Amino acid sequence: EQGKFTGMCGELASDPVATMILLGLGLDEFSMTASSIPLIKKILRSVSKAECEEVANKALAMDTAEEITEYAKSVLA
């Protein structure tokens, strides 16, 4: 919104379960190992930003990491 990029590097950026949530939270750069790129790219190409925002908003309303993980996995299934 302010012309600044928000990114993440490391294992979370390459976690397929976290991908939609991170994008929905507004991250626009993901740094990861080359071997992770094909799967993350496939996920990001299969969803819209609006879908990711909806997933992120639902995840933010959950109480535990376990709930969020199970929800995110169900969305990817």
Give the model's pLDDT for residue 58: 98
H helices present in the chain, as ranges: 16-24, 37-45, 49-60, 65-76
Give the model's pLDDT for residue 68: 97
Q: How confident is the model at residue 1 (pLDDT cuts 50, 70, 90)?
A: low
Q: What is the pLDDT of residues 8-39, one digit of tens each?
A: 998 999 999 999 999 999 998 999 999 999 99
Buried/exposed 20-47: b ≥16 CB within 10 Å, e otherwise = bbbbbbebeebebeeebeeebeebeeeb
Give the model's pLDDT for residue 2: 74
Q: What is the pTM of this model?
A: 0.84
- 14 within 8 A of 40, measured Cβ to Cβ: yes
Task: Read off the pLDDT of each residue in 1-12 and give the average, rounded to a whole number.
Answer: 85
